[in-house]
Amino acid sequence: MPSVFSHAVAAVAVGAVAVGGRSRAPVWALGALCAVAPDLDVVTSFVFRIPYRDMLGHRGLSHSLLAAAMLALLATAVARCAWPESPGAATLGLYFFAAASHGLLDAMTNGGLGVAFFAPFSDTRYFFPWRPILVSPISLHVFFGYHGVRVMWSELGWIWLPSSLIVLAGLTWRRRDRPRLVETSGGRSS
Ligand SMILES: [Zn+2]
């Protein structure tokens, strides 16, 4: 997996483009939560001694497209209740699905097992043909050592830098859009 920080950063970047409005910050935060949630399987695997290869193991069912869809439905319901002024359910649902599709980044890492995108219907694990991201170690001890520095360097280049550019593009686009809306409403009132 890339580190949980990088999954969160990627989700915020998608949010900067997909979700605007007054409630964008909490919606992006919820998207970031959806993006890191699949890796809770590291904890459950450890507590219940579930083997990595198992469908309930790391990168198994929790990383599937079905789990992403369920998480997106739940997050959309929460967002619509908590922030009624947020964008419509379709926009939120697509955003949260993209954010929760955490396995897409995992499938671009160079280590571990692949991602069970189609669990529980198939336990086949998949990687993309292009895997430039160094895999993040599961052990915190290793993560905070030299290998962790190499992983973060790799993620800075392959995730944080593109995400920053996407955030900048999204914010610029929204800022350019705002005066046009004011002009339009001014034109109507005169
Ligand atoms: Zn993962």
Neighbour-count burial for 28-62, b at 16+ CB within 10 Å, e otherwise:
bebbbbbbbbbbebbeebeeeebeeebebbbbbbb
Mean pLDDT is lowest, of 65-74, 78-87, 126-135, 145-154, for 145-154
- Whole-number CA gyration radius for the chain: 19
> How far is the C-alpha of 54 from the C-alpha of 44, rounded, in Å?
12
For residue 106, the CA-to-ligand 1 centroid distance in Å is: 6
Mean pLDDT, to the nearest integer, of 117-131? 96
pLDDT greater than 50 at residue 130? yes
184 Cα–ligand 1 center, Å: 45
Q: Which strand (E) or helix (H) includes residue 23?
A: none
Whether the bond into 120 is cis, omega within 30 of 0: yes
Task: State in Å: Cα 38 to ligand 1 middle.
Answer: 6
pLDDT on residue 2: 64
Rounded to the nearest angstrom, the distance between the alpha carbon of 105 and the centre of ligand 1 is: 8
Which residue, 1, 29, 13, 3, is CA-closest to 161? 13
- Provide, rounded to the nearest whole percent, the portion of the chain with pLDDT above 70: 91
Q: What is the pTM of this model?
A: 0.84
Local confidence band at 188 (pLDDT 50, 70, 90 cut-offs): very low
Question: What is the spatial distance between Cα 160 and Cα 9, in angstroms, rounded to a whole number?
Answer: 7
So what's the pLDDT on residue 182?
52
Instruction: Give residue 186's pLDDT.
Output: 47
Which residue's entry shows tokens 């550019």?
Answer: 165
**Ligand 1 mean position, distance from CA 176 (Å):** 36
Give me the pLDDT at residue 88, please.
93
Work out the average pLDDT over 53-64. 96
Cα–ligand 1 centroid distance for 190 (angstroms): 55
* Cα 181 to middle of ligand 1, angstroms: 40
Span from the CA of 165 to the centroid of ligand 1 (angstroms): 23
Is there a contact between 115 and 127 (Cβ–Cβ < 8 Å)?
A: yes
